[in-house]
Amino acid sequence: MTLPIVRTVADLRAHVAGWRRQGERVALVPTMGALHEGHLTLVRRGRELADRVVASVFVNPTQFGPSEDFSRYPRDEGGDAAKLASAGCDLLFAPTVDVMYPAGFAATIDLGPVTRRWEGACRPGHFQGVATVVTKLLLQAGADLACFGEKDYQQLCTIRQLVRDLDIPVTIEGVPTVRETDGLALSSRNAYLSAEQRQVAVRLNQVMRDVVAALRGGAPVAPALEAGTATLLAAGFAAVDYLALVDAATLEPLDQPGPGRLICTARLGAVRLLDNMAV
């Protein structure tokens, strides 16, 4: 089946309104394309929860910093459309930058503390860009629910906060991270890894699992995190931007063992690998 593609907000709304008239529930899966099994899992989850699934593919310039990979971010609309169709998607919304940010566009959504630490500190402005584009996509599609991966855990917390704060009538469905058989979390940016870096990358997940086990066993937090960071650096990571135990909702750091989320970003060359796990 060829997937219908719409590029304007009016066409997107016309499709969604048609489904609604038939009493159908609609799920939205926002993406930046370069789709992999993780994205297709979001589409399948949307399919389980709703009658229709709309995916968006939009490489959002406002969430990339000046020295980040916006221009070289992988783009393959034909390939993405074929994958979406095979996963059961009903419609692709693929707007241009001018549709999303027409001349004179000036709004920015800033969600405050949940966006300041961790990725927010490493990538200033990133979550304002994400929150702004996701707000627009949610309002444009008017879906009943929207699916986001737990892989980008701080992004998921930010989106939950924006839906709460702005009373957007949509349910946010967090979907567990999809991993390679060796445990590496799927990411479009894994394509940038050399064969040698790929061998090191798998250690991220393994080391984090060891830290989770230590914390669950009652190990003191700071030494467990320091040991995990040292092990990652010894394994070949160029830098560990953070390895932290945080409150699962506010992302504030926890210094005592207990339920929370272990979050980490480690760098291999120019690639930043993110992962997180429940503790």
How far apart, in Å, are the Cα atoms of 48 and each of 53, 156, 176?
Answer: 10, 20, 15
Q: Judged by CB under 6 A, which stretch of 25-33, 138-146, 228-236, 259-267 contacts ligand PAF?
A: 25-33
- Between residues 187 and 229, which has the closer beta carbon with respect to ligand PAF? 187
Residues marked as catalytic: 39
Restricted to residues 97-136, the positions that interact with ligand PAF (CB under 6 A) are 130, 133-134
- Between residues 129 and 228, which has the closer beta carbon with respect to ligand PAF? 129
- Between residues 23 and 102, which has the closer beta carbon with respect to ligand PAF? 102
Q: What is the smallest separation between the CB atom of 31 and ligand PAF, expressed in angstroms? A: 5
3-state SS string for the chain: CCCCEECCHHHHHHHHHHHHHCCCCEEEEEECCCCCHHHHHHHHHHHHHCCEEEEEECCCHHHCCCCCCCCCCCCCHHHHHHHHHHHCCCEEECCCHHHHCCCCCCCCCCCHHHHCCCHHHHCCCHHHHHHHHHHHHHHHHCCCEEEEECCCHHHHHHHHHHHHHCCCCCEEEEECCCECCCCCECCHHHHHCCHHHHHHHHHHHHHHHHHHHHHHCCCCHHHHHHHHHHHHHHHCCCEEEEEEEECCCCCCECCCCCCCEEEEEEEECCEEEEEEEEC
Angstrom distance (rounded) from CA 63 to CA 100: 13
Angstrom distance (rounded) from CA 219 to CA 228: 12
Q: What is the smallest separation between the CB atom of 179 and ligand PAF, expressed in angstroms? A: 17
- Between residues 93 and 237, which has the closer beta carbon with respect to ligand PAF? 93
Angstrom distance (rounded) from CA 184 to CA 199: 10
Q: Judged by CB under 6 A, which stretch of 24-32, 65-73, 108-116, 175-183 contacts ligand PAF?
A: 24-32
Angstrom distance (rounded) from CA 203 to CA 210: 10
Q: Judged by CB under 6 A, which stretch of 30-38, 98-106, 116-124, 213-221 contacts ligand PAF?
A: 30-38
Per-residue contact track with ligand PAF, 139 to 178, x per CB under 6 A? -------------x--x-----------------------
- Between residues 159 and 200, which has the closer beta carbon with respect to ligand PAF? 159
Q: What is the smallest separation between the CB atom of 105 and ligand PAF, expressed in angstroms? A: 15
Q: What is the smallest separation between the CB atom of 133 and ligand PAF, expressed in angstroms? A: 5
Under rule CB under 6 A, how many of the chain's residues touch ligand PAF?
10
Structure tokens of 14?
A: 């016309």
Restricted to residues 43-72, the positions that interact with ligand PAF (CB under 6 A) are 60, 63
Per-residue contact track with ligand PAF, 194 to 213, x per CB under 6 A? --------------------
- Between residues 172 and 268, which has the closer beta carbon with respect to ligand PAF? 172
Residue 32 in contact with ligand PAF, rule: CB under 6 A: yes
Residues near ligand PAF (CB under 6 A) are 30-32, 60, 63, 130, 133-134, 152, 155
